[in-house]
Amino acid sequence: MKSFVNYLFKNQDLFYKVFLFLLTTFLIVYLFPKGGKFKYEIPKGKPWQYENLYAPFDFAILKTSDELSAEKERINKEHIPYYEYNPEIAEQVKTDLERQFSEVLSDTLSRSVTLALKNFVEETSAEIYRNGLLQEIIPLDQDQIIYLKKGNEATEVSYGNILKQNQLRDFLNRKIDEARLQIFRDELIELFFNSVRPNVTYNESLTQNELESKYNQISYTRGNVERGTIIVAKGEVVEGNKLQVLNSLKAEYESQVWSQANYNWVIVGYSMLVFLALLMLMLFIRKYRYDIFQNNVKVTFIFFNLLLMVLLTVLVIRFNVNYVYVVPLCILPLTLKGFFDSRLGLFTHVITVLLLGFIVPDSYEYMFLQIIAGIVTILTVSELYKRANLFITVGQITMVYILSYFAFTVIQEGSIYEVEPETFLMFLLGGLATLFVQPLIYAYEKVFGLVSDMSLLELSDTNSKLLKELSDKAPGTFHHSLNVANLAEAAANEIGANSMLARVGALYHDIGKMRNPTYFTENQTTSVNSHDELSPRESAEIIIEHVINGIEIAKKRNLPDRVIDFIRTHHGTTTVYYFWKKEKEANKNANPEDFRYPGPIPFSKETAILMMCDSVEAASKSIKEPTSKIIDEFVEKIINKQMEEGQFLNSDITFMEIQMVKKVLKRKLKNIYHLRIEYPE
């Protein structure tokens, strides 16, 4: 039992990766839809490239969206709206008219005139409220038939037969003229306007419910295809009715209710494909980015981002599949390139797109657009910490989306008039969402403890607390670090490495010298050498210790691991040659391992560049009369010696790139020493 526990403890990193791998596979399969997948790509407007296709079962032909829209439009035109008649208002108005009659009209009128006026008011009121009075909001055609609802009964009435409130004055004037009561026109109009109120209102809820009921009665199919009927023959162009029949077959196939056995097999199939895709990603990381593979936090970060993109896409598809291109999938390669490198970013992006190809419509088109956009992202984005670069990259990504979509549409439709402008808006929204990568990277740095180029930009500030302390305690080392940083940045730019990382690593690589600054020649301001009183071995120990001290200081000041790597590797496993030679002269049996730096040797292009620049810059101070030839030989000698000792074997840097770094160092040193062309006498 104890041995088993020890085995688990020793291999806990491996077990964690297996758990992470299986958990990610499970979550992705869980998110995927569990229906069947139609096995044919439908080539709209192109010949059918497969064998003759026969109907595998009976299915109905779905109507096109245009046909359904036409039916809804017809229902809208034929639909009869509902209006509500309120009899209580009519009764209240009748009462108000009787009450105000004596107030508006004079009491001195004769009985016959008063009776005639009362009859007029009563008859006119009855006519106004025969079909009701409407305050018109949505005008209809006068011949439009409507339902006028009185209580529980609804009768058909011509819209023109209902009096509108804005027609009331003309109606009253006409009635007064017909009754020849013009002398009482003002009083009668005042009477009616004081009392009459609209009592007919548009019943929107009832009308809408009736309309929805008719919409629900629409048949979404037209005709049926029986099992065994040929749907499309090989070489036949897929368009018109053939296209709609194929789309109907696909929809029916993917929406069928599966038996438990079939459902389980679908799960097994999805699990195998997702398992293989994620396995390829894991193997890629293990083979080509082994340093990342060994770091569980970084592996978790990569799988988390992949899962996040799948989750966002699935959620958008479930909400509305037309918005699938709003998902900023290019955030994935942008983020991974910002934290790691381009190759890993692109490979992870491709794996993610392949996984999403299972669930998106028009999977080939989707994968083509997303992979091309990912390639453009990797090729164009550089120095992400510069805001202008991010905007330019996002603009290029959006343009690639638009151009690719336009090309696909022209190929499929054979016309530019079928291009949907709404899709361009989706691409623009996706581009805007991609700009969220900067705050996202900041959040990732805090959560996962990683470092990006934006953090490196902050660390490159020479006014930072740690670099100011270095400047105060070891001014010579600080000046040396600045020179090395300039050389490393120029060399990294020359070979396409991360120049910001190389510069920051160079600025901090010698912070360990703050512990014993006077034991390093660049900080000695007098002729007294602290090493004169020490043995060569003791001196070598102090010199070597600056690497260990630097790592301790860096960890206490929370410098990122990517920067600490430069402190660890800037001397590799070389020897402190001066003191080793001095010890060997005194003791021929001296052990060279006592004078060797602990390593490791550089394991990236940037750390290899720092080793070259640090050695060349430090040793260049010993050149008494520099000439162009001397500098060339000097640079060649130092770097060739490092190559012979195998210091660059793990750094993934080529011979050609080393030669390019040499040229940069030679040119920079000549500029530092202000060398001019030697003219013949």
pLDDT for 413 equals 67
Highest mean pLDDT among 127-136, 409-418, 609-618: 609-618
Strand boundaries in 228-356, DSSP class E: 230-232
Between CA 537 and CA 581 the distance in angstroms is 11
Question: In this predicted model, what pLDDT tens digit does every residue of 215-248 receive, in sequence order?
Answer: 888 888 887 878 878 888 877 877 778 878 777 7
What DSSP string runs through 435-501? Answer: TTHHHHHHHHHHHH----HHHHHHHT-TTSHHHHHHHHH-HHHHHHHHHHHHHHHHHHHHHTS-HHH
- Pick the last residue of a domain from 384, 413, 448: 448
pTM confidence score: 0.61
- The arithmetic mean of pLDDT across residues 129-147, rounded, is 82
- Asked whether residue 433 falls in the same domain as residue 472, the answer is no
User: Both 377 and 351 in a single domain?
Assistant: yes
Question: 533 pLDDT exceeds 80?
Answer: no
442 with 343, same domain? Answer: yes
397 inside domain: yes
- For residue 25, being part of any structural domain is answered with yes
**Residue 551 and residue 435 in one domain:** no
Helices (DSSP H) in 558-604: which residue ranges? 561-569, 577-586
What tokens appear for 353 in the block?
Answer: 């797109």
H-run or E-run covering 637:
helix 628-644
Write out the residue range of the structural domain in which residue 523 sits. Answer: 453-672
**How many structural domains comprise the chain?**
3
Domain boundary among 427, 448, 469: 448
Pairing mode of beta strands 145-150, 82-85: parallel
Tell whether the torsion through CA atoms of 400, 402, 407 and 409 is positive or negative: positive
Asked if residue 676 has pLDDT above 60, the reply is no
User: Residues 277, 148: one domain?
Assistant: no
Provide the β-strand partners of residue 158: 145
The reply to whether 62 falls in a domain is: no
* Cα–Cα distance, 605 to 648 (Å, whole number): 9
- Alpha-carbon distance values, 462 to 135, 412, 455, 466, 505 (Å): 76, 58, 14, 9, 13
- The structure tokens listed for 464 are 């930072």
| Amino acid identity at 48 | W
CA distance 124 to 133: 12
| Phi, psi dihedrals of residue 357, rounded to the nearest 5° | -60, -20
238 occurs within a structural domain: no
Q: What pLDDT is attached to residue 302?
A: 94
Residues 546 and 656 in one domain: yes
Q: Kindly state the percentage of the chain with pLDDT values over 70.
A: 92
Q: Is 66 part of a structural domain of the chain?
A: no
519 shares its domain with 654: yes
435 and 577, same domain (yes or no) = no
> pLDDT-based confidence at 7, cuts 50/70/90?
low
pLDDT above 60 (res 279): yes
Instruction: Judge whether 542 lies within some domain.
Output: yes
Inter-residue contact 123 to 188 (CB < 8 Å)? no
Give the helix/strand (H/E) hosting 108. none
Instruction: Identify whether 543 is part of a domain.
Output: yes
Among 606, 604, 616, 668, which residue's Cα sits nearest to residue 642?
A: 616
Last residue of a domain, one of 448, 467, 491: 448
pLDDT score recorded for residue 24: 93
CB atoms within 10 A of CB 208: 12
pLDDT reported for residue 681: 47
Q: What is the mean pLDDT of the chain?
A: 84
Model confidence over 541-594: pLDDT tens digits? 888 899 999 999 999 998 888 899 999 999 998 888 778 788 777 777 777 788
Residues 630, 515 share a domain: yes
Residue 665 shares a structural domain with residue 563:
yes
Same domain (yes/no): 468, 586: yes
Any idea what the CATH number is for the domain that residue 563 is in? 1.10.3210
The answer as to whether 384 is a domain residue is yes
Cβ atoms of residues 566 and 610 within 8 Å: yes
Average pLDDT over residues 661-673: 87
Please indicate, yes or no, whether residues 515 and 598 belong to a single structural domain of this protein. Answer: yes
Name the most confidently modeled range: 102-111, 239-248, 274-283, 414-423: 274-283
